[in-house]
Structure 1
Amino acid sequence: MRKQWLIICLLLPCMVWAQGKKLDSLQKQHYYPDEDTVPRLDMIDLFSDLFHIKSRNVPKRRGKVYYSLIPVPSTIPGGGNALITTTNAAFYLGPRRTTRLSNVSFSPSFSFSGRFSFAFHSNVWLEGNNRNIVGDMRFMVNPQYTWGLGKGGEGSKRELMDNNYFRFYQTFMRRIRPGLLAGLGYHLDWHSSISLPNNDSVTLPSYVKYDYGTMPHKQSVSSGVSLNVLNDTRANQVNPQSGYYVNAVFRLNPTFLGSNNNWASLYVDYRRYFHFGDERKQNVLALWGFYWTSLSSKTPYLDLPSIGWDPNNNSGRGINQNRFRGKGLIDLEAEYRRDILPNGFLGFTVFANMNTVTDAEHYRFTGFHPAGGVGLRIKFNKKSNTNIALDWGFSKYTNIVYIGLGEAF
């Protein structure tokens, strides 16, 4: 069964390559917010009117770079509250008809209880979409709950786990055929100060029944390279309105690059967007699915596939991050997005997701774990089509409020 999944996932990028030749025609159908002739409204307009700022005094909105900023208080894993500030800059590095929107985001968070996180993400498209450069850098001092492998215990059987985390990912891809890019990446995951601070009678290895990357107060280092294949026809990654996205990442972590153990993994991501009615109005059905698997027996515990730890940490809304972890993970999600007001200032979403993870002892998938939710959208920047996203996700395990910039996928 595992080999069949592996073959399907490896062939998936090739299956969609045939659609790459249709890229030019698909691009013409994409949503271009700055072409909208209907008066649109965003929060920048409201602030301009409130403080009587004329448009000629706001050059950043008229230029190629569009900024969005949101400082919000939010709950964090492990309990307590933190101030989270997200700044997003979206820009074009070429003609908009032939170059996709690039974006860079910076998200620091602080709490009075000593928790801290720093995240910097970038997704840059060079002119003509001939090159794509993706970066992900994070540093986190942020305890999180863990439930072990597979289904784990009930909510009351979780353990709070200390963990300092540094990540550095950088991927470079170039176009090899219309709509199809391939390239190499470097990935570093460095976990330190791993322990269960609230339980003196149990160690992490005995609790999770896993020996790799779980030794108390030891470091877990994974340093490796990746082979990446990408087919992306979306015009705007911040808020996709149509098109599809396929990404396959094969990662190899050898000890000679600094890893504690030799291990490998495969991640395959597919997304599809259907736009209905007037292309200048948001009326979108978005679908997302990914398969993530460890291909080795010595993958460190904190680097195993886990819900909420996809590249953008957006999977499984309504389920705690880390709630399900195993050597293999499948996640399926759907979301419907629509404007509430004709000017696009307010919108809503309805979403559902379900995931399944392999059990603790065998590579055998457990049953699906469903979740759902609703959300409100407030247009922050109409030029980049960036929304403030307020989501409430719920499941039988918990319910969580999410606040951020942009869509989950």
Structure 2
Amino acid sequence: MPRLVFAQNIYRSIDTSRFTDDTIPQKDLIDVYRSVFKEKPRPPLGDEKKRFYFSFLPEGSSVVQGPGKALITSTTGAFYLGEKSNTSISTITFTPYFNFTGRYGIPIHSNLWLKNDDWNIQGDTRFLVYPVTTWGLTGNTPENDGFVLNYKYVRFYQSVLKRVNDDFYAGIGYYLDYYIDLDINPTNPNAFQQYTGYKYGTLADHNSFSSGPTLNLLYDTRKDNNMFNPLPGFYASLVYRYSSVPLGSDNNWQSLYLDMRKYVQLSYSGPKNILAFWTYYWTSLTPGTPYLDLPSIGMDPYQRSGRGIEQSRYRGQRLFYFEAEYRRDITDDGLLGFVVFTNINSTSEINTNRFIYWHPAGGAGLRIKFNKKSNTNIALDYGFSKNYGALLINLGEAF
């Protein structure tokens, strides 16, 4: 009996991109289209030489936060910047939307992995016009007591991380948030500050500007690090932000964002069968954080948290979030699947910094494999909570 043995990391050594037996080839909507129109089938997974995988989804659905319906186009690109054997898949998402009531946005997210996964470059750029409802800084504000806040928003986040060892990365970044022409309804110029009881970034007809460096840490054992459809493993990210007056900020302030996710594969044969967990803790570390930069539900980096809860419904100095989801294939070929999810969040009260009010939500969704090469699903989710429900349509998983 050996006293010491060595084994490979299971998430790096086992090909978990296939959850079915080898005798059952994977299928997506592109395969369905080719079979219906009698076109030549694509090469099997792993045999093709193509390095870029493209997905496009025009849709009309309820807006995450705002009145009426929206026209949305979701475009994703997945590609390799190195050899597939030693480089994770890079992803870019572009999701412009317009909702006929003056709210529109042009967000672009990127997550690039350079050759051998030696470097990771993360980007988040947005231009938004945002008539949005806000409910202040307490967790028990009634639904009908919010008021409309109008503004234009420019975001520019860029981070560069260097591999320290197999799964750990460290780096720096730069974050810029620019809120332009804060306009409120009612029109009383003092109503915003009076309503929130908060003095930073709440002056009507003013701008709010934050700019400064970040310190970024990342630990990721997931195979391929695919943001569209993560495979079993563990993910943790920490971002420390310092917005400073010398770099243009209205105030000096600091924040911390800690994000952790765990994906557990329940079976290694047959249909995909996964439990996924997500939690994050987001806190303002100092006074001076502008109101719209305070932690808020649904305003995480990919704006995917709080399914079943209105975006920005709860805001505070600190925010805690937890979500669990069960993911299962319906068909052995991976074309159809379903998810069931539940989440809960709480923001700290402005006067006590205590977590008092907890807000649960839940729902279920259908998955349709759009592109098996990039493992991208069409995600149709219905989430609900007290006094609210919404249908959400995305390319890729929520987390």
Matches within 5 A, 1:221-370: 221-235=209-223, 236-278=226-268, 281-370=271-360
Q: Is the 8 A contact 1:150 1:366 kept in 2?
A: no
Tell me how far apart the structure 1 counterparts of residues 273 and 370 of structure 2 sit (CA, whole Å): 18
One-letter amino acid of the counterpart of residue 357, structure 2: G
Tell me the distance in 2 between the aligned counterparts of 1:231 and 1:23: 17
Q: Indicate which of 7, 14, 20 corresponds to 1:29.
A: 14
Percent identity (aligned): 46
Give yes or no for contact 1:161–1:197 (8 Å, CA) kept in 2: yes
For the 8 Å contact 1:23–1:233, the answer to whether it is kept is no
1:367-405, CA deviations, whole angstroms, 9 ceiling, x for partnerless residues?
Answer: 321111101001101111110000011111411111001
Contact kept in structure 2, 1:98 and 1:128, CA below 8 Å: yes
> Once the 2 structures are TM-superposed, how far is the Cα of residue 93 of structure 1 from its aligned partner?
2.0
Alpha-carbon contact 1:107-1:120 (below 8 Å) kept: yes
Residue number in structure 1 paired with 2:34: 48
CA distance in 1, matches of 2:8, 2:114: 17
Q: Helix, strand or coil for the counterpart of 2:254?
A: strand
Residue in 2 that maps onto 1:386: 376
- Whether 2:53 is the aligned partner of 1:66: answer yes
Q: Which of 198, 208, 218 is residue 206 of structure 2 equivalent to?
A: 218
Aligned to 1:193: 181
Residues 144 and 46 of structure 1, relative CA distance in 2, 3 Å threshold: same
Aligned to 1:16: none
In structure 1, the residue matched to 2:3 is none
Tell me the TM-score normalised to structure 1 length: 0.90
Distance 2:374 2:286 in 1: 41
Deviation at 1:65, TM superposition (A): 1.0
Mapped partners of 1:22, 1:334: distance in 2: 30
Task: Note the C-alpha offset of 1:214.
Answer: 1.0
Which structure has more helix as a fraction of its residues? 1
Q: What amino acid maps onto 1:141 in structure 2?
A: V
One-letter amino acid of the counterpart of residue 270, structure 1: M
Q: What is the aligned partner in structure 2 of residue 13 from structure 1? A: none
Moved more, 247-256 or 112-121: 112-121
Query: Judging changes above 3 Å, is the alpha-carbon distance between structure 1 residues 192 and 286 closer, same or farther for their aligned structure 2 residues?
Result: same
Counterparts in 2 of 1:51 and 1:268: CA distance versus 1, 3 Å: same
SS in 2 for 1:264: strand
Letter in 2 for 1:31: T
Q: After TM superposition, list the pairs within 5 Å mapping 1:168-183 onto structure 2.
A: 168-183=156-171
- Residue by residue, what CA displacement relative to the aligned partner does 1:88-134 show, whole Å, maximum 9, x if unpaired? 01112223332211111111112333322001110011122110000
1:29-57: per-residue Cα shift (whole Å, max 9, x none)?
Answer: 35224997322211111222233332469
User: Does the CA-based 8 Å contact 2:271-2:331 persist in structure 1?
Assistant: no
Taking the aligned partners of 1:249 and 1:22, their CA distance within structure 2 comes to 32
Segment of structure 1 superposing worse, 128-137 or 146-155: 146-155
Secondary structure of 1:143 counterpart: strand
Q: CA 1:309/1:245 → structure 2, altered by over 3 Å: closer, same or farther? A: same
Answer yes or no: is the 8 Å Cα contact 2:189–2:203 preserved in 1: no
Q: Distance in 1 between matches of 2:7 and 2:314?
A: 38
TM-score by length of 2: 0.92
Go from structure 1 to structure 2 and tell me whether the alpha carbon gap of 1:56 and 1:248 turns closer, same or farther (over 3 Å shift): closer
Q: Distance in 1 between matches of 2:356 and 2:126?
A: 31
Q: Is the contact made by 1:241 and 1:282 (CA closer than 8 Å) also made in structure 2?
A: no
Q: Tell me the C-alpha RMSD between the 2 structures.
A: 2.2
Q: CA deviation at 1:204?
A: 0.9
Assess if the C-alpha contact under 8 Å between 1:31 and 1:279 holds in 2.
no
Structure 1 contact 308–315 (Cα < 8 Å) conserved: yes
Task: Kindly state the Cα deviation for residue 177 of structure 1 after the two structures are TM-superposed.
Answer: 1.8
Cα distance in 2 between the residues matched to 1:407 and 1:247: 18
Say whether the 8 Å CA contact 1:231–1:245 is kept in structure 2: yes
**Equivalent in the alignment of 1:159:** 147
**Where does structure 1 lack aligned partners over 5 or more consecutive residues?**
1-20
Q: 1:119-173: per-residue Cα shift (whole Å, max 9, x none)?
A: 1110011122110000000000121110000215110111111021110000000
Matched letter for residue 30 of structure 2? I
TM-aligned CA distance change 1:375 to 1:22, over 3 Å: farther
Q: Quote the Cα distance in structure 1 between the aligned partners of 2:375 and 2:21.
A: 11
Alignment partners' CA distance in 1, 2:318 and 2:56: 36
Opposite residue 51 of structure 2, the aligned amino acid is: K
- Separation in 2 of the partners of 1:213 and 1:147? 15
| Native 8 Å contact 2:140 2:357 kept in 1 | no
